[in-house]
Structure 1
């Protein structure tokens, strides 16, 4: 199982939110590229980047820090937030991103996800953010009546590389991930599932690993706070 250290970008800084609330922001580093290098130096295999401003704006906002991270780090990175058309997808992949995460458009324009996955095989992931099992979009500001599992199943034959599943009520709250819901989603589809939201201890990571179903896990606040030692976590997750 791959551990993805998270760098959430707001106003050019590396931050963490609680439950996706932009008013509940903790700034952890005003130099996101330096933060990324810290994770890479500890041995991480991937980076998970989120343009929080972009998620609300519907277009990339934190391009400069993302580009700085890509230039200074030699591990693959995936990015979500405000990526809602083919031109933006192509531009980011051309700049060196390994994978683009499509969230809101997966609900509003699923045909775009299918087209992107066909044109850029292995480089398109779907972000499914759910509150009480129902999908939320536009930076989690808008709730839908769509069931997270139904949305995941709708992309079963699309060729997407992964699904990043976030339980919004667990995100940034340090209460542990929703392992049962994540494992249920992994059973429901053949697409690799990456767990996000609430991963707050090494025990959480081991529990996710031990399901034997989950391909990856994203952690942010716990790494910044020191609740998870990245080197220890990587050692525990490496076969």
Structure 2
């Protein structure tokens, strides 16, 4: 078995307080191979985003978690926060998040370099180079002087992706990264992920776009807070698990030498 970049052991997570508390993850054990792209998929309410946040050590304060999350064989919570911030890059859902709207696009990308900068130190030449490289990778360089709040949803998503890329982390966690992106830029995202994996990085994403899901290296199928299947995307058992978790309302078929999910 390939070395795990991220791993969980008997992970249980409940969200909410008192009568509103609900169990979301129920004893989840996952092994996410290093240097591969794993896609987490499942119906609404399956626990996909909660699992992704747990993998990044980003569960909200009101979460009740048990079990272990490990990165490269070490317990994630035991690692210094700076090491975690340098090793794990996060792209979350930005709906309703306007905290950075007054910042320029360039400054938003530069925020990705904070884990590498000394306290109150000015950005280095390497920091500026990483920010520029990330903005060019996401085709957002031409907006570098515009405020984030002046951009469309799709443009904003590309800038936030650039911020995550600027971290230059070995592991990237992305929650619905294709939100607001048009088809050409979804294709650009796919190419970017393949380039990251080719560089030896690990990518873990939550996606709803099943056609894109089937382009990943590995598939992790969740339902009702439990892992229903884990395996290579190209394997028939993965296809059957994907069909089953969506009540057989989709069918995985090969079209022009590419796997796609078609409505039944």
Scaled to the shorter chain, the TM-score interval is 0.3 to 0.5
What TM-score results when the alignment is normalised by the length of structure 2? 0.36
Larger radius of gyration: 2
Structure showing greater relative contact order (alpha-carbon pairs closer than 8 Å, 6 or more residues apart)? 2
